[in-house]
Amino acid sequence: MTLLSLSNLWAGYGPVPVLKGISLEVHSGEIVALIGGNGAGKTTTLMVLSGVVPPRTGGITFRGEAIETWPPHRIAQAGIRQVPEGRRIFPRLSVLENLEIGAYAETERKTTRATLKEVLSLFPILAERRQQAGGTLSGGEQQMLAIGRALMSSPTLLLLDEPSLGLSPVMAEKIFQMIQAIQKRGVTILLVEQNARAALALSDRGYVMEMGEITLTDAAARLADNPQVQAAYLGGG
């Protein structure tokens, strides 16, 4: 079932177009990778989906409902949450306080407590350090905190922007394992990731973006075997 659909979407900053008529779909329960070089428009795509950057033309549907004119808070309440590049946690607040901020839309304390328990079970290190200031965590632990904060609102669709950026290979692998675990819990994921090889290995399908346009789309395994993709993004050729 199609959960999210973008159709002929144009967007940008000021007079400069960044997205030039892109179209893509995300089906319920899958991980979809969006790969491409720096400046291709990947982050802008996520910002449009979060309502931060308004589209100029084109459509966005989520669960069959048009959302391209919705403000960010309404999009978040509908079940789309973004984990931004650079994590952007609150460094002076404790781990627990950072997580509780992610549940701002929840009205039932019982629901919030149950979700917190689930998030802490997914990220045991956060449970151990729940009273520790977020800014004192390692980069990988802060990434876990940022993801956990987004999960506190029980999203249907999670937008991940460069989750392995700046992490050691060992910690990046842990983050990728966590992403798979999140999918298994029923969360659909749109993944922007600099490590194209890892992103495609995680994903069901993928899109390649160049200069604000979608240039290729296929099953992730077939994209990983595509000579063009290998030469441009996987270090092949």
Give the tens place of pLDDT for each residue, 189-205: 999 998 999 999 999 99
pLDDT of residue 92: 92
Position 233 scores a pLDDT of 86
User: Residue 159: exposed, middle, or buried by beta-carbon count in 10 A (0-12, 13-18, 19+)?
Assistant: buried
- The amino acid present at 18, given as its one-letter code, is V
Number of residues in the chain: 237
CATH code for residues 1-79+157-162+185-237: 3.40.50.300
Sheet of 65-66: strand order equals 16-27, 2-13, 57-62, 65-66
At 35, list the tokens.
């790969």
Q: 27: part of which helix (H) or strand (E)? A: strand 16-27
Confidence at 110, pLDDT banded by 50, 70, 90: low
Nearest-angstrom CA–CA distance, 199 and 176: 8
Distance (Å) of CA 157 to CA 10, 28, 58, 71, 78: 22, 8, 20, 17, 9
Residue 59's beta-bridge partner residues? 7
Task: Calculate the average pLDDT of the chain.
Answer: 92
Q: Show me where the domains of the chain are located.
A: 1-79+157-162+185-237
Degrees (nearest 5) of the Cα angle 149, 155, 156?
Answer: 155
- pLDDT digit string, tens, across residues 93-103: 999 999 988 88
Residue 106 has pLDDT above 60, yes or no: no
165 Cβ contact partners less than 8 Å away, ≥ 6 residues apart: 85, 86, 194
Q: What is the pLDDT of residue 166?
A: 86
Residue type, 61: T
pTM for this structure? 0.92
CB atoms < 10 A from the CB of 161, how many? 23
Distance CA 162, CA 182 (A): 16
The yes-or-no verdict on residue 107 having pLDDT over 60 is no
56 within 8 A of 27, measured Cβ to Cβ:
no
pLDDT tens column, 82-95: 998 877 888 999 99
Residue-level pLDDT at 15: 86
Residue 177 structure tokens: 């394992």
Let me know: does 90 contact 120? Beta carbons within 8 Å: no
Over residues 29-35, mean pLDDT: 97
237 has a pLDDT exceeding 80: no
Q: pLDDT, tens digit, for every residue of 137-177?
A: 999 999 999 999 999 989 999 999 999 988 899 999 999 99
CA distance 146 to 190: 16
Q: What is the DSSP string of 123-185?
A: -HHHHHTTTSBGGGS-HHHHHHHHHHHHHTT--SEEEEE-TTTT--HHHHHHHHHHHHHHHHT
